[in-house]
Structure 1
């Protein structure tokens, strides 16, 4: 349980559930909040003209509404009534954290695969939440129901992982077709970092004051990162992208590399690069937005 808490939950739940009524009220609120957030993202994607992403979030919202109905039926069968929102005593973990929602809205590299990967993480967080409550519940019925909720969320994780794999294969097929039409050797993270260094140097020349100083610091950091980043594989066309897209691709590259790394030293190096790249991306997004 400590692993679940530290790796998936940003904070421990604020307490324990004391009754099935409270459990159903909280579960209903969590599923409804998830449906509303996915609906909002679908609408936002439609406004941006991203029909494929709008379709993904529409389907996710529909699935969450089915979960809402399932909790309602469960509550009626066990307690003889539907969930009561007034019984939600403390704030549950958000189904979609603000950082993920912001990434969907601002990312230029967001794809159905990445959107589904984010949804998988959200369901894993819900699984950890219910597992935690089951482990620390003092009421036998609440404990059993929390375990059932955890198993339900695990089933959602499995379903979304299958969806994610299908999205990955579709994306890979499209990328392969594009590459065969205009074959170019892939580039590594080092080359992409150096391209970002050159772009930041151009940007720095147009700035003055604190913005110029911060851009210089980011550029110098990118130079050091390039020396440690002789790995990875990116489409050659990525070199022609703007600084924001390059910075975002590098974050993905370092995170993917860390996920696959088996050597502890390599893992630590990739994690450090990922942390620096995430901080850099956040600054670039904020700066370029202003």
Structure 2
């Protein structure tokens, strides 16, 4: 997942007044809440675990904005005002990062907490720059408080990230062990096999024409009479189960695409690189096809 470099969060000019400082901090918190809110509004069932993470993040940023508003009223005699901004505040929660996480089938609570922790680290870097450029002692002192808050919040987010990582590793280990009777890490061959099962299961809940489109994405390409049970009424998955199978197939297809791309990057020789690149191209085309089918087939 692409992330903007931390050290590019540089204010274009020194902050000249306390009112300007609070206006910047308030704008940053509000913008973060707005960006995170975009993912809270996602209604698809498969996004539920991620949505709960962003609900927490939105509440945290709104609390931060409320605290800044109250502090500004005490320190400056007024609420934060955009009229005090002399330049557009640095975007500490880029929309592209939020969009990429929301669109990736591989996103998990771990990746969401990790991205939020990265955002707070970027905020710390930004406030450190503000401190370094400030000429007024009160501005420096207040910005130091903002920097400490960013560090403290980042530490809490990293704790949540670690907890999510442990939980997801346990779930993944159980899933692979259940599928293959082993605790070994997932290989491309294993994922291809699991994806094959998902594609076949997905196809059982579709019309014949839709089924042909989905099965065309199957790397095994078995003849149709091997894939259709004799009595579909007894074996056809329920609609809710089909949705879970579809989302799992998309995640595995994306994971395989990333795996082959990684293999190409680390290939020890030309032949291995070319093979990995070929597999990556096929996997990416398959992923695009499956995503297209998923978007038009309810």
Instruction: Name the structure 1 match of 2:130.
Output: 133
1:245 aligns with 2:268: no
1:10 aligns with 2:20: no
Instruction: Name the structure 2 match of 1:172.
Output: 169
1:67 aligns with 2:77: no
Higher-Rg structure is 2
Instruction: Name the structure 1 match of 2:20.
Output: 22
After TM superposition, the score normalised by the length of structure 2 is: 0.63
Instruction: Name the structure 2 match of 1:145.
Output: 142
1:122 aligns with 2:141: no
Instruction: Name the structure 2 match of 1:160.
Output: 157
Give distance in 1, aligned partners of 2:84 and 2:286. Answer: 40
**Secondary structure of the corresponding residue to residue 50 of structure 1:** helix
1:95-244 to 2 correspondences below 5 Å: 95-182=92-179, 183-184=181-182, 185-186=184-185, 241-242=252-253, 244=254
Deviation of 1:160 after TM superposition, in Å, equals 0.5
Moved over 3 A (4+): 187-192, 248-255, 283-290
> Do the aligned residues in 1 keep the contact of 2:130 with 2:140 (CA within 8 Å)?
yes
Give distance in 2, aligned partners of 1:142 and 1:115. Answer: 32
Give distance in 2, aligned partners of 1:191 and 1:90. Answer: 53
Distance 1:253 1:68, change over 3 A: farther
Deviation of 1:79 after TM superposition, in Å, equals 1.3
> Do the aligned residues in 2 keep the contact of 1:34 with 1:64 (CA within 8 Å)?
yes
Distance 1:105 1:151, change over 3 A: same
Distance 1:25 1:50, change over 3 A: same
Deviation of 1:157 after TM superposition, in Å, equals 0.2
Give distance in 2, aligned partners of 1:187 and 1:140. Answer: 55
Instruction: Name the structure 2 match of 1:37.
Output: 35
Distance 1:30 1:176, change over 3 A: same
**Secondary structure of the corresponding residue to residue 41 of structure 2:** helix
Which string of whole-angstrom CA distances, capped at 9 and with x for unpartnered residues, describes residues 228-260 of structure 1?
xxxxxxxxx99x942x332335678999x9xxx
Distance 1:16 1:43, change over 3 A: same
Distance 1:109 1:254, change over 3 A: farther
Deviation of 1:189 after TM superposition, in Å, equals 7.9
Greater mean deviation of Cα atoms: 90-99 or 149-158: 90-99
**Secondary structure of the corresponding residue to residue 14 of structure 1:** coil
